[in-house]
Every structure is written in structure tokens, then in C-alpha cells.
Structure 1
Amino acid sequence: MRVKTLSKQFDGKKMSTTGVTMEMTKKGIGRIFATMLFAGLLAAALTMVGCAGNDASTESKASSASTEKTLHAGSTTYFYAESMDPASDWDSWYLSYYGIVENLCKVSDDLGPEPWLAKQVERQDDRTWIVTLNDGIKFSNGKSVDANAVKTAWERTYAENSRATEVLDYESLEADGNTLTITTKEALPSLENTLCDPLLCVYYVGDDVNYAKSTPGTGPYVMKEFKAEDHIVMVPNENYWNGTPKLSEVTLTCFADDNAITMAMQNGEIQAVAMPSASTLTTLEASGDYQVSQRTNSRADFIRMNMTHPLIQNDAIREAVAYCIDRNGYADTICKGSSTASWGVYSPTLPFGGTDGLDVTVSSCDVDAASKALEAAGIVDTDNDGVRELGGTPVELDLYTCTKYERFVQLADDLQSKLAQAGIKLNIVPTDYFMEDAETFAKDDPDMALDSYAMAPTGNPAYFANIAFASTSSNNFGKYSNPDVDALVAKLNTTFDESERNTIAKQISQKVLNDLPFVFFANSESTVVYDKNVSGLDAAPSEYYFVTVDTDVK
């Protein structure tokens, strides 16, 4: 296998692929030593206090210590916030997952919207919505939350994040006490779903806030210590409006690989794993020592094509790649049943997903079909070196994959082998970062990149279409453009009838399957593994929530 290893720069330092494991080991040793030292000092202190006759004070302190509840969870992919700024890139998603920020509405377990910070959301007409906030909500800094606070937060987010207008393109916001009036530029049937998007979370805006380091939110926990893409330590929000957080401290740690996080769980260094790999899940589940929460979500794993590259622009080459992906092998063997093979675009669990009613060209892994497609397009191996040429140029492609996704690394190896049989040379380029922004994609300029997205985290079929399928959308890194798709996306955004919306989503799916700017090959599930004394860490099908006010340790 030919590989080229890259490391992304963060604050002038390369991310270590072993640092987390070493750090966790050091922390584990440090904790043992500290515990022994503390135990000795505490015993001595209690003896002296007992001699002084201060039994009541001793009992009070011991009782306080016994009520301390801490949770330490780990993940190889889900705790990688780059900052504490909800308006920066995708950091609002992480802050929602951590339990630091909240939205006007939240996603229920059946992928529908329900009120959260909002008491109710009412549609006045096709473009006007009235949102009434709950009373008594405060930010973690003690400042009150009213409609103007929501308006101010959104205005800052829109100024900082280009994705915001794709999420909600409003014409005006009017605040009056606890009432927020939202007027959209076009009819927006999915506003309640849209209000669940973490990018529209509510946070405090003020001159005294260093957003990157610590932004006051309304969630049950607040940041105590934070190191970007490494770990975060949180404590209860003393001003939380919707109950009492049950934990005294929460630590969420990023792990470099699956072996490290599996060992940390087995050794008791952590008590939970968010979105474990198939190997970690299999190992931990087999022991019978842990609880597993698993729910079907809308996430899809896919290959993103760079439509600006001449070789990728060739229809037969993209079709050959699609034929050489062993989707069943990926789902059953690599993912060990935690994913299902996909031949369409959206997950079949969604009313607009699956392949029913679609004309699916690629419906099996077929290297011979890939070869025939290339032959028919005149892409042949003229010099008999095993690699076909297009217009005299060898068909050699670079596939970028983040090593934090163990499943992608294994798929890339298999795809490399199958494409070689079809006459395409595939170079695998492993990275230790996610290609989740246009700047990174443009800088690396890959032919193809493996990626994974929640396609409809609020049940709204327009979500992914708006951020990835439309020609000018923020996450259309590969520059796919089809005027028919653009028109269908615009129509979807203004259609209220649910049945018609599902039909339009199917039409978009057909166009994407025909053009193959993406190859969607699997749908996965939300999974959390945790100790038997942990509760309130249920897997959320939206993937927006992890730590909540109900998270507890017995």
C-alpha cells in the first residue's frame, strides 16, 4: 500500500497520535499516587481532628466528599472541539454534545422537533413565526435570557459563520420581552426542525467574553478546563434553569486510537465511550461488564469527489469507484453489523430514504462492471503497466482518510485492492484530522475524501441538501453543480406538504445518484457504551446530545 502521511497544524503544533495514550497513562499513575498520598494525609488529619474533639466538623466534611460524583468519558471522534466559541465552524455541535449550550427546540428520539428553551413555537403565516421563551432562564454567568439575548446571539453567529444563512435565512428578528418574532425571506415549512440545529444555539454576547476560551451558555454544565482537540473538564452550571445537574465534575477526553480507548475503559480510567468503533464495541460488549445504548440515526459514510479535477470529472471513473466499494463487507465485517450497506443517498429509516422508487445503477460490488465501464469510455491500459490511461494520463487517484475513523482505514485498503484489479491506481493519504471545512479541503486538494455526516439530524430532508448538494453551499467542498438540483433544493425549502417534500427529496437523490459527486455506501447507528453505575447517557439519534442534566453516576 502506498501512503502519504499528513499532519494538520493546530496552534503551531502537530497533533500527536500517541500523546493521548501516554497522557492517560501518566494521569492514571498520577491519580493512583495522588489517591494514596491523599488517603494518608486524610487519615492523619482525621486522627488529629478526633483528638481535638471536633467530630461534627469531621462528619460534615466526610459527608460532603461522599456526595462527589464524577464522570470521565472518552471518544476517538466526538470530543474534538477547536474552541469554546459556538459561532466557530462546527464547535456549536460539540458544545451541544457536551451539555454547555442549548437551543430553542430540541430533537426528540423519533427525529422530530420539540420545545426546549422555547415554551412554544407558532406559525403566523408562511414566513412569520412567533417563539415564546420559557420564564426564568439564565446564562451560566447569571444573566437573564430573553428574546433580545437570542437575537443578539444569532446576529453574532451570522456575522461569524457562513453556514448560518443555509441553516436559517431570516429577513428580520424582533424581540419583545420573552417573545421572538422570526420573519424568513421565503416560506420555511421546517422552521421548528431548523431551530434544533446547534448552530442556532443561545449563548451570552458581551464585551467581557472571550468566546474562544469560555462562552456562557444555558446548558447544565460549564467549562472549567479546556485544551483544544484534547480534553475538556466541566462543572455544574449553578444557574441552570431546568433541574439540578447530578455530577460534580465531567471530563471528556480525546483518544488517538481504538486500542487506547478500549484499554482505558477496561482499566477504569474512563466510564463511558461515545461512538466507539466496531472493534471497541465488540470487545467491551463481549465482556458483559457494560451497558450499551444504540439508536438508528441519519448518518451516512461516503466518498466525496473533487469535481474540479479532470480525472474525477470523468463519469466512468466515478462509476468505477462506486462499483469497487464493498458495501456489504464494510457493514458486516469492518463495522461488525453496526452499519448497514447503502445503495442510495439517505438512510432507509427516513421516509424519503432508501432506494425504493430510485433507478440505482450500482447495486453490488462488481470489479468486472467497473472494468467494463472504463473500457466503454475508452479508458484502457495502452502500455500494459496495469494502470489505465485517460487521454494519455494514467488514472491515478489520491484518497484522503482520517485515521481516527478505524473503519475508513480498513475500507480504503480494500478499495485500493479492488480498484487496482479494475486498472485504477489508488494512493491512500492518511491524515490525523477531519476534512470538515472548505479551507482544509482546498489546501489538501484531494481527488477524493472519505467522510461521514448526519444527513437529516432533525428529520428535515433539506438539511444536507442545503449544506452540500446546492452549488454554492458551504460544505460543497468538491464543487458539485447541477442546476436541476439547485432548483429542487429551492423548491424543497418552500414546500409545506410533507408528502411532496419527501417526493422532492427522492428526486434530489436520483440526480445525485446519476451524477455521483458523492458515493454513499453505509448508514450507521449512534452508540454509547458505559459502566453499569452510569445512567443518562443514552445515544441520541440526532447526535446532538451526550451529557445532559440527567447524566448520573451511582
Structure 2
Amino acid sequence: MNLGETMTRPVTTARPAMAALILLLGALLLAGCSGGGQTAPRASGEKTLHAGSTTHFSAETMDPASEWDSWYLIYYGIVETLFRVGDDLTPEPWLAAGAERVDDRTWKVTLNDGIEFSNGEAVDAAAVKAAWERTLERNPRGMETLPCEGLAAEGNTLTIRTREAVPSLENALCDPLLCVYYVGDDVDYARETPGTGPYMMREFEAESHIVMGPNEHYWRGTPKLSEVRLTCFSDDNAITMAMQNGEIDAVAMPSASTLATLARDGDGDYRVSRKTTSRADFICMNMTHPVIQNAAVRTAVAYCIDRDGYADVVCQGNATPSWGVYSRTLPFGGTEGLRVTVDRCDVAAAARVLEEAGITDTDGDGVRELDGAPVELDLYTCTSYERFVQIADDLQSRLAQAGIRLRIVPTDYFLEDKGTWAEDDPDMTLDSSAMAPTGDPAYFARTHFVTGASANYGGYSNGEVDALVARLDETFDEDERNGIARRIAQVVLNDNPCVFFSNPDATVLSTSAVSGLDVAPSEYYFVTVDTDVA
């Protein structure tokens, strides 16, 4: 989700530690707003929900096949999938009435009767086939999500033939990339794609805002709102003040400082909904860079991340420290049975690892040298995530004490496509991702750890991981799948291509008048047919 051009804030130098920064941030937050999204006035007499976010309303197009835009369209309530992820992270039938496994490579999916797109066209198996074929052709994640060999449509029955066994097919059918949308010659997909969700687009400006109206053809009841406005805000100060001023009714994924300020000043007028997810905040290493290829450097970085301070201070208790790969809420997550390579924040240990690897400060300037050159790293961080700005500053200070110079490169976009990575060519990036939003243990590994995978931007490659993921993709027994996922986690911990340091909660804050907004462990859903404003 490219949010624009790189910000012009200069590369920073070492800063004070985290606790002081939090106090300063609180003072700045009370001082006022530095800008925000464009909020439109509510139309007289309309029942309108106006929600804001700094991170979750940033679709670049209305095309479900483009990049990650299907995720936004699911979140907005515009498109839906054949199956849906329940609160226990297991798949439940949705547009589909059910799925039957014919053999290891063949599934028959039966659709519910009477579903229509927002343009009134019928949703049958042929319509699903057309949507998927278009998506699989255009999106590089398509075949990773569904390794499809062929689709056959007959009435409301869709037959799926896969290239190999797909034990988790029902999980895959929950993925927003496999959403169902209308395909026709007259559709401008980038601007308006008819879907089956409770709302449809009326006005859209990329990475700015979307205005939606009810889908009169919705199949699961009547939407309660006449209008939904979702606005992107540039920073947390702006969105906090917008909530205080009554410009918006809800905030999706508010920052810790926004939560704290509104909880303090709201006098009980705000409702906070929170659920544990599979999401992880992590640092992704660029394994193609010589300095990063040095295992001691990667280990030193891992030792200098204050996981406990991040969860307790920066996130103010709305996150859990991570020392493994997968969240401990998952059956294959946590660190039990794994050999954890880094189990504490310890600058002295980081310095010792570097010293033992022969990475020393020979000229006494405070920066160690590797192969005769100073050990200097660039860390790209998206300023839309307040918590990332703070952890970057703290990491910079700790790495400086260990003898590594860290340059923070602030951006107003995430580096989450190969083109942006190739252009910016970072040493490291701060990122956040749902690790198992459909409950499938292969979900993240398949796209991020496998050699050459679509989201393996750092160029990580390990033949054992590749083989384990391939085995995971052909194993049906759940206990065996969980065991394979833990083996993958151990190899990744050993190699350290990514440092997973926190598992944040999914949170929605709203006024007491708002109801029916979904806070889903999958993070796929937000606006629903039941969303209402009293």
C-alpha cells in the first residue's frame, strides 16, 4: 500500500531512550493538531457513520485484483468471500453454503441461492469463476493463495482443481484476494467494482477517503446506514482531535496515545472493542546486503529491541512481547519447544556478539567496522504508525551503544511491493502483518519465507524452509501441520531474516452511539450490515 512519496524529514541522529519520548509525545498530543484527512460535512437528515484511520483506509484503487486492495474492500464492506474467518480463526461458509473435498486436488463448492452483486447481476458459479480468473491472472499472490489448475462452473456449483493438494482450501477461500466481484466489459475496476457487500462506493479518492451508500441488493439484510465515510488521517494528533471535536464517530486501529488521550478526556463517552489477532510487528532484513548477511549484525539488532518496553510503554499494554515467530494465541505459535536465540533486550550481549565475530571499533569513533567499513544501517519506517517511529528511535539509541550506526529513513508509505523495495533498497524495514489471518499455518511462510515468494522482499532463502512449506501444503493432519509450522519457526529463528518483536491487538474506538463495527481476529472485517449509529 504505497501511500505516496518519501517524506522530506531529514535522516535522524541518535535520540534519547523510549520512556522520555513517550512523555514528550504526550505533551505534543495535547498541544494540537498538525493536519489530517479531509472530512466532509454530513448531509442533513442522513444517518451517517464517519470513521477515521491513519493506516486502514488507504486503498489505492477499487480493483480487488490490484496489489492488496482486496483487503481494503473487504474491510470497507464492499466485497465478500465464499468463506469467512470466525473469531476462533476457523473458516465458516459465507457466500458459499459449503465445500466438499472430492479428492486431494478437487473440491466442489456450492453457493447460496439468491445472491446478487450491487448492480443487480446474479452471483453464480460462473461469476465466481470469472472474478477468480481475472484476479489469478493479474495478482502475483494469486497462485500462492490458490494454486489453481482449473475451474468449472455449473449453476451454483464451482469445481476447483488444484495443481497440488491444498489441505487448507477452506481457509484460502477466506482470503480477501479470492473475493467475489462482478466482471464485465463496462466495469472500470480501478474506480468502481460491483461487489456483494452491504455497501457500495459513491465517491473515492485514492489513499484519502471513500464515501459509500447501501447496497440495495444485499443478500443478508438491509444496511442500516444511508452513508458511510471513511477518511485517512495523516497523523495521530489529527485523528485524536477529530474524535474530540465530533468530526468522526470511530477510529479503526487507534494508536496507544490516541486511546490513552481519549480514555482520559472522554468521560465514558467512548467505547473500545479489542481482540487478539495473529498480527506481528517485525523488522525485515534485506538479506542481499553484505552487512545484513553477517549473522552477528542481525543478532545484535535483535538484542537491541526493547520488546517489553514497546508492548508496555509504546503500546501501553495493547500488545504482547514476541520472542518467537508466530503469536502464542495460535496453536503453532509461541516459543514452547523452540530454541530462542534472543530472549531479552541486552545491549551488552549485542556488543559481545559483535566483538566475538571480529566486528570491532578500530579507530575509536564509537562505530565498529566490518571488512574495513563502518557498520551503518538504514531503517525505513512508515510514519503513519506512531509506534514504529518510537521503536525506531529507541533502537537507534541502543544500537549506537553497541557500536552500530542506525540511520532512520521516515516514509509515508510501507515498502510492501517488490518495485518499491528495489527502488529504495533498504537495509531494514519496520513492518506489521497478520501472520495467520485465515488460521492457515502456511499463510505467511508461503508468501514471506519461501525463496522468491511474492512478499519475500528481503531475498531470504533457505532450502529447508522451502521443503517444509511444500510439505505443509500437502499435509492434511492438523497436529502434523502445526508441528511443521513450529519447525519452520525454528529455522527462521536460527537465520533471523526477520525479527518478530510484538503481537499487537486489533482495536476499534467509537462513540457510544455506534454499534455493529466488527473487530475481527482476522482483521478482515470492519463495516458490516449491522453497523449503526443511534
Conserved 8 A contact 1:86-1:92: yes
Partner of 2:277: 297
When normalised by structure 1's length, the TM-score is: 0.90
The alpha carbon displacement at 1:19 in A equals 9.0
Conserved 8 A contact 1:104-1:201: yes
Partner of 1:8: 4
Distance in 1, matches of 2:316 and 2:474, equals 40
Partner of 1:91: 69
Q: Aligned ranges for residues 53-452 of structure 1 at < 5 Å?
A: 65=45, 68-286=46-264, 287=266, 288-452=268-432
Given residue 21 of structure 1, which amino acid in structure 2 is its aligned partner?
Answer: G
CA offsets, 1:362-405, max 9 Å, x none?
00000011001001110000111100000101100000000000
Distance in 2, matches of 1:480 and 1:22, equals 37
CA offsets, 1:55-79, max 9 Å, x none?
xxxxxxxxxx4xx311000000000
Distance in 2, matches of 1:7 and 1:414, equals 25
Q: SS state of the match for residue 291, structure 2?
A: coil
Distance in 1, matches of 2:525 and 2:485, equals 26
Given residue 187 of structure 2, which amino acid in structure 1 is its aligned partner?
Answer: V
Distance 1:19 1:210, change over 3 A: farther
Q: SS state of the match for residue 141, structure 1?
A: coil
The alpha carbon displacement at 1:8 in A equals 3.5
Q: SS state of the match for residue 522, structure 1?
A: strand
The alpha carbon displacement at 1:441 in A equals 1.1
**Unaligned segments of structure 2, at least 5 residues:** 9-32
Distance in 2, matches of 1:487 and 1:282, equals 46
After superposing the two structures, state which structure 1 stretch, 135-144 or 278-287, moved more: 278-287
The alpha carbon displacement at 1:20 in A equals 5.6
Distance in 1, matches of 2:37 and 2:61, equals 23
Given residue 467 of structure 2, which amino acid in structure 1 is its aligned partner?
Answer: A
Q: SS state of the match for residue 350, structure 1?
A: coil
Partner of 2:17: none
The alpha carbon displacement at 1:7 in A equals 8.5
The alpha carbon displacement at 1:439 in A equals 0.8
The alpha carbon displacement at 1:538 in A equals 3.0
Distance in 1, matches of 2:419 and 2:254, equals 28
The alpha carbon displacement at 1:22 in A equals 7.1
CA offsets, 1:451-486, max 9 Å, x none?
000000011110000110000210000000000000
Distance 1:22 1:108, change over 3 A: closer
Q: SS state of the match for residue 183, structure 1?
A: strand
Distance in 2, matches of 1:529 and 1:357, equals 37
Q: SS state of the match for residue 274, structure 2?
A: strand
The alpha carbon displacement at 1:187 in A equals 1.0
Distance in 2, matches of 1:129 and 1:512, equals 33
4+ long deviations beyond 4 Å: none
Distance in 1, matches of 2:126 and 2:262, equals 47
Given residue 298 of structure 2, which amino acid in structure 1 is its aligned partner?
Answer: R
Aligned pairs, number: 508
Distance in 1, matches of 2:224 and 2:290, equals 56
Conserved 8 A contact 1:20-1:230: no
Distance in 2, matches of 1:175 and 1:415, equals 54
Distance in 2, matches of 1:509 and 1:401, equals 25
When normalised by structure 2's length, the TM-score is: 0.93
Distance 1:23 1:217, change over 3 A: closer
CA offsets, 1:328-383, max 9 Å, x none?
00000000000010000000000000000000010000001100100111000011
Given residue 282 of structure 2, which amino acid in structure 1 is its aligned partner?
Answer: F
The alpha carbon displacement at 1:123 in A equals 1.1
Larger proportion of helix: 1
Conserved 8 A contact 1:292-1:528: yes
Conserved 8 A contact 2:57-2:207: yes
CA offsets, 1:25-67, max 9 Å, x none?
xx56xx6xx97xxxxxxxxxxxxxxxxxxxxxxxxxxxxx4xx
Partner of 2:451: 471
Distance in 1, matches of 2:235 and 2:3, equals 15
CA offsets, 1:143-189, max 9 Å, x none?
11100100000000011101000101011111000000111111111
Q: Give the number of the structure whose alpha-carbon radius of gyration is greater.
A: 1
Distance in 2, matches of 1:165 and 1:7, equals 26
Conserved 8 A contact 2:34-2:237: no
CA offsets, 1:401-426, max 9 Å, x none?
00000000000000000000000000
CA offsets, 1:62-97, max 9 Å, x none?
xxx4xx311000000000000000000000000000
Distance in 1, matches of 2:360 and 2:5, equals 40
Q: Aligned ranges for residues 27-46 of structure 1 at < 5 Å?
A: 27=40
Given residue 421 of structure 2, which amino acid in structure 1 is its aligned partner?
Answer: F
Conserved 8 A contact 2:34-2:238: no
Q: SS state of the match for residue 278, structure 2?
A: strand
Q: SS state of the match for residue 21, structure 1?
A: coil
Superposed CA RMSD in Å reads: 1.7
Distance in 2, matches of 1:424 and 1:243, equals 58
Distance in 1, matches of 2:414 and 2:131, equals 27
